[in-house]
Amino acid sequence: MDDITYGTAPYKSEDYCTILKMRDEIMRRPIGLTLSEKDVADDDISEHVWLRAGDEIKATVKLVPEGEGVVRLRMVAVSPESQGLGLGRLVILYCEEYAASRGYSRIVFDARLSVEGFYLKLGYKTTGGVYESVGIPHVFMTKDI
C-alpha cells in the first residue's frame, strides 16, 4: 500500500457525499440514510478527518463538538477494499490524538452493535443498552482521552 497520510479540514458538504458512499459500500446496501438540508450544508464547527493511501481516501471520520471537552465521532467509514488492513484502527487512533491536541477530553459516538468488540479493544466503553437506528442495532460508546 502507498504511503499513508492523515489530514483534517473543515467539514464541507462534499465530504458528506464521500462518507455516505463509503458507508453504503461497507454495508453492501444503502442503509436508509437520506440527505437533509443540514447534511449538505457546509458546517463551520465540525471537522473532516481522513486517511489517504496515495491519492485515495481510505478511511474517514467526522468530528463534531458536543460541548465542553466532548467531541462526537460521526460517519466513521473505511473503504471496502481497505477493510481488514488496520486502517480503521489507525484513523480512530489519529482522531483520538487530534481531539486531545484540540483540548477535548472525551469522545462519544453511536456504534453499530456488530463492531462493538472492535471499539472495546480500543478502550471504549459501552454505556446504555442496544437501540435501533435505521433498522440496525447500535450502542452508545465513550472514551476518556
Domain containing 58 equals: 4-102
CB 106 within 8 A of CB 118: no
C-alpha cell at 124: 471504549
**Is residue 112 one of the residues assigned to a domain?**
no
Residue % of the chain over a pLDDT of 90: 34
The pLDDT, as a whole number, for residue 15 is 64
Mean confidence (pLDDT) of the chain: 81
**Is residue 35 one of the residues assigned to a domain?**
yes
- Residues 108, 110, 113, 118, CA torsion sign: negative
pLDDT surpassing 90 at residue 35 = no
**Is residue 91 one of the residues assigned to a domain?**
yes
Give per-residue pLDDT as tens, 77-115: 887 777 788 888 888 999 999 999 999 999 999 998 988
Sheet containing 106-112: give its strands across: 4-10, 47-53, 56-67, 70-78, 106-112, 136-144, 125-133
C-alpha cell at 53: 493511501
**Is residue 123 one of the residues assigned to a domain?**
no
pTM for the structure as a whole: 0.77
The pLDDT, as a whole number, for residue 65 is 92
CB 11 within 8 A of CB 43: yes
CATH of the domain at 76: 3.40.630.30
pLDDT surpassing 70 at residue 24 = no
How many structural domains does the chain have? 1
Task: Of 19-23, 70-74, 77-81, 94-98, give the lowest mean pLDDT range.
Answer: 19-23
